[in-house]
Structure formats: structure tokens, C-alpha cells
Amino acid sequence: MSKLSRRSFLKIAGAALPTIFFPQAASWAGKALGQSDASKPNVIILLFDAMSARNLSVYGYPRPTSPNLERFAERAIVYHSHAASANFTIPATSSLLTGTYPWTHRAINHRGMVTQSLVDKNIFRAVGTDYQRMAFPQNVWANLITSQFANDIDTLLPSSTYASVDYLKGESLPNDTNMALRALDDFVFKENEQASIFLAPLLSAMYFRDAARLSKEGYPRGVPNNENYPLYFRLEDVFDGLASILPGLQSTFAYIHLYPPHAPYRAASRFYGEFNDNFRPIIKPVHRLSGHSSNARLASARRSYDEYIASIDWEIGNLFDILENEGVFENSYVIVTADHGEMFERGEVAHTTPLLYAPVTHVPLLISTPGQKTRRDVYAPTNAVDLLPTIAQLTGNPIPEWGEGVPLPELGGVEDFERSTFSVEAKRVSSFGPLGIATVSMYKGPHKIIYYTGYGGKDSYELYDLESDYEEMKNLIPVRPAIAKRLKEELLDTFSDVNKPYMK
């Protein structure tokens, strides 16, 4: 009898477990394998939460954080100037899934929702019913958005699918997951603002007890967990789980939104201490709107983040080897991207900041087309809103009229260096009002202009030439007044247009 390897065992277990606890996974797998038109290529989005392109060696970062993505890039289209539409999960994911900017979909707050008029206008609807549509929003924030589109998703795997400790309550109500998550996990049982005097403290105690008992073996900084929800997970369980389901896909659109490398940064032991090196990132001036973290804190957080990315990249490598052996790359578009980035500069750690510098907005986008063997590079600016029209086309559907993006170059679109694209941050204002306190960055040609409004004092602008100033060190507003004036006018016109419906 042949020996069963650990990974093979986990693959089998990973395949079986979701079907035991979430019977819809079995029905989806059955449908995917048995009833779909096998001639259609799969489209698999692997989205990593808070993965900045600026910390990936595949995009030129000095630390070797992503050798496996570098390997993947050799058979993929690499988009070098891809921007997130927003700087944290809720608006950024909403933009990707609706193909619209935050000022349109209005999920601009920390726990915001896509406006009702756009709920039926999403990427799953655009893909159409000829495809099996699956989503695994491992990040609960992404689930808050994805579950709004549940009517257009054949299989919505819960955030807890591969979790080691799971005390989420809303997901146990599959017919009303979105509101149940918001009511129970985001309010009544919310870890630190509980609205229940008896049950919530009791369940919290059980959760913390289970979390404390969880073996930390293999994770010196602790087992990865969801920062704001009661979920712990091991990277190997998540990736083994994916390795067990992805090879079986046929004519499927899969949106897989993984929580890592979002904080807390908890690398596996083989990468712990990997970057105790002499790398010294450029020290940038502290921004007035930053959290004013010290340079030592920034360096330490960056090191942990880089190690976590290397951990994830190792798992990605294993996953891609399995996909390669199973022939998945021959019949699938495999898209690797992120919802937003993460920053460790100018006094700011993480991403929920008014600052829209490149570490937060520059995200990876690598797309391997079916059977692709060589690398192609695209340098024109692209944006997360472009994924929806691109995928609509790839799946044989018309480009929906509601989207604000265009098909990506090399996949039905053309390289347009003069097109304007945007990233938006407006978490402090109401979804139902104008963006009175906001940061907007606009990309056009080699330039990026950043507009700060409502933060106190006069509105301010910064202008950078990303071609000659990759690190955004030199504000060109005083030295290129003509360009600054033109871009300011365009940005302000757009800003005024999007605010108009909300002005009283």
C-alpha cells in the first residue's frame, strides 16, 4: 500500500471537511464537475489582502520576498502600474467586485455596504450563469461585501472554512449571512464593544480559551488570525484546502479573497528572522496625517510583514506546483492580485490611513492565460475597476455598462497612458453624503496627483512623476505648475461631479 503523504492527507481532508460542514460546497463541486460546459476556461482570482506590490521582489523589492511569484510571472502578464481603487478592504473589494469607484458604490466606511442600486451589478452577475460562480472570502470584511451578492453566487464558502478556531456566529445563518454578520459579529458579540451582558462575555471566554490552547507550533509569532473577528487559521490548511478544490474546477469563476498578509504578520517558523538583514529602506519625511510611528517601529513592522509575505509566497509556490501538475494552468486564467497595499513609511504603519502613497495603492496584478508559457509586461496604468470588464469579456459576456473600468491591456484592452484612474479614501464621511473629508489620488501618464480635502486647514495637493521618482519623494507642485494646474482641474471636476448627487 502506498504511503499517504501529509500534504495528500490534508488535501483529502481539506476536500472533505467543507462538504461535511457546508453541504452547499458538495453540491457546487458536483455541479462544477458534472453539469458545466467543459469548453469554457476557468477564471480564478487569488486575491491577497493588504499585499503591496512595493514589498514583492517580483516588482523589484530588494528583499527576496516572492521567488514563487517571480516564477509565476515568467508565464504571466505582469501589470506594473496597477492601482487599488481604495486603501482598505471594504471599499477596495467593492470596487473590484462592482467595477466602480468608491464614490459610486458608496461602501466607503469601515463596515460600509454597496449601495442597493449596485447589488445586482457585480462581477458574478457579469460572468453569467454559464459559469459556476464560487467565492471564498476568507477575510470577514470581504465577506460583508461578497455576501451582498449572494444571489449571484452558486457557492459562497464561509470565511471560517479552513479555520482552526472559529467563533463567528453570522455564518451559521446561510440565508441571511450579510445582516447576521453585521448584527451578531460586528455588533452584539463584537470582541470589545459587546452588546450582550451574558452570552457575549461567555462566548468570548470560550474563544480566548480555545485560541490560547491552539498549538503555536510552526508559528513563532502565533498562529495567523483575523484581526477583528474570532478566527484563527494555519496557512498550510488554507492552501491545502485550495489545492484540493481548484484542480476540480470546470467552467468556474472563483473569487478567492485570502486574509494574509494582512496584519497581524505571523510568518511560519522557516521564514521567521529571514530578513534580519542590512536592508535599509529610504527614510521618508513624516506626513502630518500619519500615525507618527517611529522609524524603528516602521522597520520592525516591515520586517515582520516581509517575512509573512515570504511565508505566503512559499505556500503559493506549493499550490502552483499542484495546479501545474493537475493541468489547471492549461484551462484557466489565474489572476493574482490584492485589494490594497500596506505602508511602512512617513510615520504610518498599515493601510487605514488618509495617505494614498504607492505602498498602499500599488498592488500586484499578474494574470496567467490558459497555456501561457512566456512573460509579457504591461506598463500602462490600470486599476482594480478594470477587472470586471476584463473578466466579463474573458467569459464571453458583453462589458456591462455600469462599470467605470476598461478591459486590461493584452486581454482585450489597449495600453492607454493618458487615461485617468483613481484611488479614493473617505472612511470618515457618510455613505449618503458628499465626500467632505477625503483623499483622492489620480494617475495620468507618468503623473500621480494626490488631493487632501477636509482634514483641517486648506485643501492640499501633491504631484509626483512616478517614472523618474518611483519613491514619491519630490512634490512637483511648485516646479511643474502647468501640469499641476491641468491635473488639479481634471481631478476637481471629477470630484465635483461625483459629489453633486449628494449635495443638498
Partner 1 sequence: MNFSSRFPSLKQLAQVYSVVVVVVYGFSMVRFFWRVPSLINYSTSGQIGVILSYMLIVNLIESLMIVSAPVVLSVILPGKWFFDQFVTKGVLLVSLALGYAGYIASHINTEEPFPYPLFRWAPLVFILILALVFLLARVKFVAKFLEWASEQLEVFLVVSIPLTAIALIVVLVRNIF
Per the listing, cell 503555536 goes with 216
Under the binding rule (CB under 8 A), the answer on residue 180 touching partner 1 is yes
Distance CA 197, CA 200 (A): 7
Under the binding rule (CB under 8 A), the answer on residue 205 touching partner 1 is yes
Binding residue for partner 1, selected from 7, 24, 31, 191, defined by CB under 8 A? 191
Smallest distance from the beta carbon of 174 to partner 1, in angstroms? 8
Q: Which is nearer to partner 1, 145 or 323 (CB)?
A: 145
Q: Which three cell numbers stand for residue 96?
A: 473590484
Binding residue for partner 1, selected from 26, 33, 150, 173, defined by CB under 8 A? 173
Binding residue for partner 1, selected from 12, 16, 199, 414, defined by CB under 8 A? 199
Under the binding rule (CB under 8 A), the answer on residue 179 touching partner 1 is yes
Buried b vs exposed e over 208-246: b needs ≥16 C-beta within 10 Å? eeebeeeeeeebebebbbbebbbbbbbbbbbbbbbbbbb
Q: Which is nearer to partner 1, 122 or 132 (CB)?
A: 122
Nearest 5°: phi and psi at 84? -75, 150
Under the binding rule (CB under 8 A), the answer on residue 120 touching partner 1 is no
Under the binding rule (CB under 8 A), the answer on residue 502 touching partner 1 is no
User: How many C-beta atoms surround the C-beta of residue 503 within 10 A?
Assistant: 8
Distance CA 401, CA 394 (A): 16
Smallest distance from the beta carbon of 433 to partner 1, in angstroms? 9
Distance CA 341, CA 293 (A): 18
Under the binding rule (CB under 8 A), the answer on residue 375 touching partner 1 is no
Under the binding rule (CB under 8 A), the answer on residue 378 touching partner 1 is no
* DSSP E strand stretches across 240-363: 252-258, 332-338, 343-345, 348-350
Helix (H, G, I), strand (E, B) or coil at 82: strand
Under the binding rule (CB under 8 A), the answer on residue 436 touching partner 1 is no
Q: Which three cell numbers stand for residue 394?
A: 474573458
Binding residue for partner 1, selected from 4, 12, 16, 195, defined by CB under 8 A? 195
- For the chain, the farthest-separated pair of C-alpha atoms sits apart, in whole angstroms, at 76
DSSP 203: H
Under the binding rule (CB under 8 A), the answer on residue 300 touching partner 1 is no
- Which of 267, 290, 250, 11 shows the shortest CA–CA distance to 132? 250
Beta strand pairing status for 42-48 and 332-338?
A: parallel
Binding residue for partner 1, selected from 33, 208, 228, 461, defined by CB under 8 A? 208
Is the Cα torsion angle 442, 443, 445, 448 positive or negative in sign?
positive
Under the binding rule (CB under 8 A), the answer on residue 480 touching partner 1 is no
Smallest distance from the beta carbon of 253 to partner 1, in angstroms? 27
# residues near partner 1 by CB under 8 A: 36
Binding residue for partner 1, selected from 17, 26, 150, 183, defined by CB under 8 A? 183
Smallest distance from the beta carbon of 57 to partner 1, in angstroms? 36
Binding residue for partner 1, selected from 24, 109, 352, 460, defined by CB under 8 A? 109
Under the binding rule (CB under 8 A), the answer on residue 210 touching partner 1 is no
Distance CA 257, CA 253 (A): 13
Binding residue for partner 1, selected from 192, 278, 374, 468, defined by CB under 8 A? 192
Smallest distance from the beta carbon of 71 to partner 1, in angstroms? 41
Distance CA 79, CA 373 (A): 16
Distance CA 240, CA 250 (A): 19
Q: Which is nearer to partner 1, 107 or 335 (CB)?
A: 107
Under the binding rule (CB under 8 A), the answer on residue 494 touching partner 1 is no
Q: Which is nearer to partner 1, 33 or 179 (CB)?
A: 179
Phi-psi region of 27 (alpha: psi -120 to 50; beta: other; left: phi over 0): alpha
Q: Which is nearer to partner 1, 71 or 190 (CB)?
A: 190
Distance CA 461, CA 480 (A): 13
Under the binding rule (CB under 8 A), the answer on residue 198 touching partner 1 is yes
Question: Mask: binding to partner 1, 48-87, rule CB under 8 A, as x and -?
Answer: ----------------------------------------
Buried b vs exposed e over 98-108: b needs ≥16 C-beta within 10 Å? bbbbbbbbbbb
Under the binding rule (CB under 8 A), the answer on residue 295 touching partner 1 is no
Smallest distance from the beta carbon of 170 to partner 1, in angstroms? 9
Which residues of this protein are in contact with partner 1, per CB under 8 A? 106-109, 111-113, 116, 173, 175-176, 179-180, 182-184, 187-188, 191-201, 204-205, 208, 429-432
